[in-house]
Structure formats: structure tokens, C-alpha cells
Structure 1
Amino acid sequence: MGKRLLEDLLVIDCASFIAGPAAATIMSDFGARVIKIEPPVIGDSYRQLMKVPGMPTAEQDYFWTLDNRNKESLALDLKHPDARAVLETLIAKADVFITNFPGPIRDRLKLRAEDVMPLNERIIYASLTPYGEDGPEKDRTGYDATAWWARSGLMDAVRATPETEPGFSVPGMGDHPTATALFGAIMTALYRRERTGKGSAVSTSLLSNGLWSNGIWMQAVLCDADFSIRLQRGQRGALTELYKCRCGRWFMLAILNYQREWPLLTDILGKAEWRDDPRFATHEARRANSAALVALLEDAIALRDWSEWKPLFQQAGITFGPIAQPTDHLDCPQVAANGFLPEIENANGLRTVDSPIMIAGQQKRQPGMAPALGEHTRTVLADIGLSEAAIDAMIASGAAA
């Protein structure tokens, strides 16, 4: 097997929870060595997230398994002077340093860009914040639910009606696309380093990614669009609406090529006469009589299960999308064909979710299990030249674990 694309890179994951560490996970998928620094005893607080009320129960910590695969855990108390010396040695050897610690913590631990970058002129310092590097909220704490989902306007925009309560986001829903943005920033800086030999400080934030994800509506606001009307069911058009099958499964019609797909839909439904109905004969007529057409479509679609409708829509070439549930993907031929859920090495068939970036001719590594707290402390310390006695002393002092 050939060398993996990022195999020569050493990445220090000095971050917590999801968006920052997940950027390191993507790098690890392409072969980078990632050393995750965690506080002794408790480790990254992300290890505790599965205990939050409302999280699905499982024997495996799925949070940790997904976002920290392939990594080595180095348990260091960064407040201890001996641990600081180890960190600086690692920084001097590293290619990338990732952190999402709040500003005041970075100040106390001397982890700001101006502290880290003088130790290695080639290092890429990657910063993740909730609300951005500057401004009155630059040191505020936040998660993707607050900074990406709620603050960006996405939480409000997806409500079904003005009266519908705002809905909570899924854990990591904004963190993972933000991690992809941070990965892109890091790779851009590495490209610059190839050209100049110098490192860079790069950054992204949950809020900026939320605004980008909500970019169409934000651009509409910037263009003085009128948002005073929020459409009710059926007002978007009967051919771009949600429908429920007999079995209870919902799906979305997304028919925009009316001339081709409207006749196909009426044939599938066994309602060819609708094409000659003056209420539905033209696009303009269907728009004017949208509520009536929605009602007719609801009644027709409710006569069969999704397992019956899906192959008919597929064979006809109608644009649609099932409202999937996570379990749907376990045996999905499309997911399997693309390797989106690869097996974790030596994990008795346990699978994980692949990162969403593919490069032709570049094979990713088979995912490895996420590490136990401090699992690689001795290995990493030995790699940077500490003797066994020195490592024992660090552990005894509480500087490492």
C-alpha cells in the first residue's frame, strides 16, 4: 500500500468536544499522526456527553468513537511546569496545533498563537471559536446548538409554521461541517507553507459557519428581501411538499422540471386525468390550486407503503427524497457502495462514519478505535526522548497520567 497523503504530518489536538477535534480526525483519516492532549483523571469533557439526559443509551461511547478515532491520548496537566516542557517539545516537532479553548484559558495556559508560533516557524495554528476571533463576544463560550444553530437563524428558519416551536439540533449537527471548514483552512495554510516555508494562524467559528449554512437567507436579508410572510403547508407548491405514506414514512417531492416530471407523477399515481383537469393542466394553474392538489396527492400517496412508492419513483426518474432515519443507512446499498460507514479495525465489526472528503487515488486508513484516557502517554513521552525513569517521575508528580 502506498504512502497516505498526510502520513508525514504530526497534529496536536489540544481541543475539546467536537468541531476542533473533528478537524484533526479528518486529517487522521488521510494518515496524519494525531496526538490528543487531555487533562489527567477526567480527560476531555466530551467523554461525559453520553451521560447527558436525552442521549440515546449504548454500551459504546459513540461520541468518543466517532470524533477521536485514530488518535493517541496523551494525558497532561498543562498547568504543571513539567507538562509545559513536554508540550513545547511537541509543538517544536508538530505541523499543526488545533485548539478551541476559550480565550481566558488560552491566556492562562499560554496557548494563544503568539505563544505557540514562536516555538516553531512552520507550525499551522488552527483556532476554533464559537463567535469569532474579535469583537465583544470573542471570549464567550458556546456550542453548535447555540452559536451555529440558534444564533445563525437556522433554528428559526426551519420551523414548519410561525406557531411551531423552535426545534433542537442533533448533537454535532453544526460541529461537523465547521470541522470540515477548519480542515480546509489548515490544508490551505499547509499549501501556503509549501510555497513560503512559513506557518500560519488560521481560524473559523461556529457562528460564521452557521451564517454560511444559512447563507441564502442571509444574502436575501442583505438584499432587503421581504420575510414578513412564512408559507404554510401547501403554499410552497404541491410538487415541492412533504407527503406521508400508508406505513407512516414521510418523503419529499422536489419536482422542479414540471414539463417532464408532472406527467410521470400522474402516471405513477394512476391519475392521468389530472393532466387534463383545468385546475392542474399548467404550472400556473397548479400554483393557483395548490391546496386542492396537495389534498389529492395526500389521499393518493396514503394508499401505499413507502416500500411500494420508492421503486416507482426511482424507475420513473422523479426527484424525491425520503425522510430518512439513522437506522435506514445500516443496510443501504448506496451507503455501502461508497464506503460511507467503514468498519473500525479490530473492533468486532463495529462501524463508524467516514469523513466526507474523498481524493481520487488517495486511500484513507481503516479507522482505529478512539483511545482510552492516557493510553499513549508513555509512548508519546518516550518518542520525544524521555527516559522510563523520567516518565515515571512525571506520572508520580501528576504532570502526566
Structure 2
Amino acid sequence: MAQVMKGVKVLEVAQFTYVPAAGAILADWGADVIKIEHPVRGDTQRGFVRMAGADVNPKRSPFVEHPNRGKRSVGVDISKPEGMEVIYELAKTADVFLTNYLPNQRQRMKFDYEHIRAINPNIIYARGSAFGDKGPERDFGGFDGTAFWNRSGIAKAFTPKELSGPISQGIPAFGDSIGAMFIAGGISAALFHRERTGEGLELDVSLLSTACWAAGTSIDMALDGTEFPGVSMPRSGGNPGNPFMGNFTTSDGETINMCTLTPGPHIRSFFEHIGRPELAEDERFSTVEALMKNWEPASDIIVEEFAKKPFDYWREHLKTYSGQWTPVLSLAQIAQDEQALANDLVFEVEAADGGDPIKLVRGPVQFNHEPVKTTRAPEASEHTEIVLMEMGMEWDKIEELKAKGAIA
């Protein structure tokens, strides 16, 4: 893939997925991303041995690979003055400083905006946070399960009114990965601005702002006094007013989602594809006005027809339907999906354990139709000596810092 960030140096002082995943995107695009990790334990996320109910192999952990592929790891204890001196030296030649530490931590250890800007006045300082860098809760930590999923209104919006409480976030690091892409985009814009004006900017993206943007049209409705209608309990059938929209259960228990937002032009094609071409001439369904009025009997017929044949039949048969639809897939199925693979949504990196290559999902932006080419996530502190020698540090100094526990 085109190395659009080649020559850009990113200094990342961050942990977990949110914010480090922005560094991974920039590394995919060609940036040299220096990941600072604790010299003993590394990124806290390296210690996850069980997540989402499954055991995690630390040498093949998606919680490490997804947000850290393509980087170089330098072990520095930022709580020690000698460690912060190393950070300052690295910051002198960096284009971007990337962090998700809390404000009080950044101030205490002296790597907040004013400290880094004093070292490098043209650096772009990028912060990721749970709730934003202003307001009474700027010092509060959080994860995407709190700031993105629950605080934003998304959890309630996805919960059918029949349930007694909001549904839980079903995908780890869901908001983290979305927000990280926004950070990468903001950094790209800031680099463009600096190229044109010479001015380095500070930028902020929060998990809360990420969620509010993702749910923006519904929040806009609420701001204008229109209540969001919410979602209904799962069922096989068409939506009220439009039977060509809804989930329909196949004979083997799988689901086809019909999403024909404007059914009028597709009435004949649809009824032909479900094996009932005569219904296109039925006065109850032959026009969009009649179809919307008689959506319930139309829905009953569609439910009956979908239930006659299996999922694979409908996946193939509906390819010639003129309207919009999709098979409902699992996360494992999308990783094997023909269309996803054709668009290079999955790529491979070598594994640190020497086993089979690790398959990862690429970022949403693709340049020149080219697949991602990058390296595995580094092991903790894997590149400390190399990076420090590149910036001109003598070996005796490196040994001295190691003896003090400032670096690994």
C-alpha cells in the first residue's frame, strides 16, 4: 500500500487499544511509530491472558497485534527523571506526540502539551481521552464500554424497549478502533496544516465524541425534538410500512436482511426473486402506496417464502435482485467472506511464536487498491537499543540508563 506517511515520526506514549490503534493506522501508512512501554511489564494490555471469555496467547494476542502492528517498541520508565530525558530526546525529532494518559499523569511526569512543545515547538500533540480534555470530568478515565457505549446513548438506542435494561457492548474495543481512526485522520489534517503554515497543532478525540459522531443523525433528531424510535425485538418479518425492509429467517435458521429503502422500483424484481411473481400484479402490492398500506400481509408472505429455502440458496439467488439486501454474518464468517477478502480486508503478519502467520483486519482506508504490508507488533522493548543508537546515544549511556532501570 502507498506509504503516504513515510518520513513521519510518531512518538507514542499510550496503552491499551484506544490511541495505540491510531498509531497502528499511521504505521500501516508508512510512519515510523516509536511505542514507549514500561521496561518491565510493557503495555498493560500485554498482560491480558483472558478476554471476552476466551484464553489469549500473549505471543498471538489480537489485543496486542491489532493496535500495535508495524511499530517499534522502546522500553522506558517514564516515572523516572532519566526516563523522561529519553522521551524528550525522542520528542526533539518527532513529528507527532501521541498519548492517552490522564491529565494529572501527564502533568506529574512532565509530558503534557507545554512540556513537549517546549522541547519541539512544531510537534503535533495528539490526545485521546474518555470524556474530552475539557469540563469537570476531564480527569476521569474510561474505556469504550463506558464512554463510547453507555454514556453516549448508544446502549439504550440498541436496546429493545421490552428488555429490562440496556444491552452490553458485544465487541471488545469497538469504540476504541473507531475513535483511533478519527485520531489518525486528525493527525493527517494537522500534518497537512503544518506543511502549509509551519504551525504545529494540539488535537483531541474522545471516546464520547466518537460515539456522538457515530450516532450523530439520531442525536440531531433528539436535539430537534424528535424522539429516536429505537429498535424492536428480533423477529422474522418486514418493518411497519415497508415489508421490503427487515430480517427474514431461512429454512436452516440463518438470516437475510432486506434493506430496500425505496421499494417502488423493485416491486417486480423482489416478488420474482422470492418465487411469487404474480404478486407484482396484485393490487395490494403493485404500487408503493398499496405496498406500504398492506405491509402486514406482504410481510407474512415474504416470511413464508424465505423459510422454504436455506441461507446459501438465498445468498446466491438474491445476487440478481435489483434492490438492496445482505446476508447476516458472524464475525468469523466476515473474515472468510468473498467480498471482504476481495477488498483486502484481511492481511497477514509473521507471528512472534514462529507459528502460522497471524491474520489481522486492515484499516478502512485503502490507497491505490493495494493491500497492507506491515510487520507484526513488536515484543515489549524489542527495539530500545536500536532506536536510541539511531538518535545518537552512546552505548555507555545506554548501559548506564539500563543500570538505573530507566530503560530496558
Does the 8 A contact of 1:279 with 1:289 survive in 2? yes
Tell me which of 283, 296, 321 is aligned to 2:288: 283
Does the 8 A contact of 1:31 with 1:364 survive in 2? no
Residues 359 and 298 of structure 1: is their aligned pair in 2 closer, same or farther, counting only changes over 3 Å?
same
Aligned to 1:247: 252
| Distance in 2 between residues matched to 1:335 and 1:164, nearest whole Å | 36
| Distance in 1 between residues matched to 2:110 and 2:174, nearest whole Å | 31
Does the 8 A contact of 2:27 with 2:70 survive in 1? yes
Question: Are positions 1:387 and 2:386 aligned together?
Answer: no
Aligned to 2:360: 352
Residues 6 and 229 of structure 1: is their aligned pair in 2 closer, same or farther, counting only changes over 3 Å?
closer
Does the 8 A contact of 2:24 with 2:68 survive in 1? yes
Q: Provide the secondary structure at the position in 1 that maps to 2:65.
A: helix
Does the 8 A contact of 2:242 with 2:263 survive in 1? no
The two structures have a TM-score, normalised by structure 1, of 0.93
Matches within 5 A, 1:1-400: 4-52=3-51, 54-55=53-54, 57=56, 60-163=60-163, 165-169=165-169, 170-227=171-228, 234-235=239-240, 237-345=242-350, 348-360=356-368, 366-400=373-407
Q: How many residues align?
A: 399
Q: Provide the secondary structure at the position in 1 that maps to 2:368.
A: coil
**Share of identical aligned residues, percent?**
30
Residues 69-91 of structure 1 deviation map (CA, whole Å, 9 limit, x = unaligned): 01111111111121111110000
| Distance in 1 between residues matched to 2:20 and 2:52, nearest whole Å | 23
| Distance in 2 between residues matched to 1:238 and 1:48, nearest whole Å | 49
Does the 8 A contact of 1:6 with 1:30 survive in 2? yes
The two structures have a TM-score, normalised by structure 2, of 0.91
Does the 8 A contact of 1:345 with 1:366 survive in 2? no
Residues 344 and 227 of structure 1: is their aligned pair in 2 closer, same or farther, counting only changes over 3 Å?
closer
| Distance in 2 between residues matched to 1:239 and 1:360, nearest whole Å | 36
| Distance in 2 between residues matched to 1:212 and 1:236, nearest whole Å | 28
Q: Provide the secondary structure at the position in 1 that maps to 2:300.
A: helix
| Distance in 2 between residues matched to 1:151 and 1:335, nearest whole Å | 32
Residues 163 and 365 of structure 1: is their aligned pair in 2 closer, same or farther, counting only changes over 3 Å?
closer
Higher strand fraction: Structure 1 or Structure 2?
2
Residues 365 and 320 of structure 1: is their aligned pair in 2 closer, same or farther, counting only changes over 3 Å?
closer
Q: Provide the secondary structure at the position in 2 that maps to 1:121.
A: coil
Does the 8 A contact of 2:12 with 2:35 survive in 1? yes
Of the structure 1 ranges 11-20 and 256-265, higher mean CA displacement relative to structure 2 is found in 256-265
Query: What is the CA distance between 1:186 and its match in structure 2?
Result: 0.7
Of the structure 1 ranges 38-47 and 231-240, higher mean CA displacement relative to structure 2 is found in 231-240
Query: What is the CA distance between 1:104 and its match in structure 2?
Result: 1.3
- Residue type of the alignment partner of 2:166: P
Residues 208 and 53 of structure 1: is their aligned pair in 2 closer, same or farther, counting only changes over 3 Å?
closer
Query: What is the CA distance between 1:112 and its match in structure 2?
Result: 1.3
| Distance in 1 between residues matched to 2:241 and 2:93, nearest whole Å | 56
| Distance in 1 between residues matched to 2:152 and 2:93, nearest whole Å | 38
Does the 8 A contact of 1:102 with 1:140 survive in 2? yes
